[in-house]
């Protein structure tokens, strides 16, 4: 069963709830108000998928720089 992150629209209380994909969103456990889905962070990626993602990100960094800020950036050289 997947878990979803929610934020209350009234008291702004963040919480995580586990329920089926077709089930409605629960009420806020703090005040009982209506909630909205929160997209707080990207899911963690491990293994072969992470290596592919890292290679894709490295391909976007210009040649001759380490951090991608530019050829004259002091932290990249």
Residue 13, Cβ density class (10 Å: 0-12 exposed, 13-18 middle, ≥19 buried): middle
Range of the domain at 20: 3-60
**Helix, strand, or coil here: 5?**
strand
pLDDT at 58: 72
38-70 pLDDT, tens per residue?
Answer: 875 566 666 666 677 677 777 766 655 555 555
Instruction: Give the ranges where the chain is alpha helix by DSSP (H).
Output: 48-60
Residue 69 domain flag: no
Answer whether residue 23 is part of any domain: yes
C-alpha distances in Å from residue 77, one per residue of 20, 21, 22, 56, 60? 50, 48, 51, 22, 17
The verdict on residue 75 lying in a domain is: no
pLDDT confidence of residue 23 = 93
Q: State how many domains the chain has.
A: 1
Whether 9 contacts 35, CB under 8 Å: yes
What would the pLDDT profile of 31-40 be if each residue is shown by its tens digit? 999 999 987 5
Name the band, by pLDDT with cuts 50, 70 and 90, for residue 22: very high
Question: What is the value of pTM for the model shown?
Answer: 0.50
Q: Which two tokens stand for residue 40?
A: 């707080």
């Amino acid at each position: 069963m997947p878990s979803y992150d929610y934020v209350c629209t009234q008291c702004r209380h963040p919480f995580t709830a586990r329920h089926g994909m077709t089930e409605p969103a629960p009420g806020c456990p703090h005040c009982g108000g209506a909630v909205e889905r929160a997209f707080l962070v990207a899911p963690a990626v491990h293994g072969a998928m992470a290596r592919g993602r890292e290679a894709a990100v490295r391909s976007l960094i210009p040649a001759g720089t380490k951090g991608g800020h530019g050829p004259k950036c002091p932290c990249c050289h």
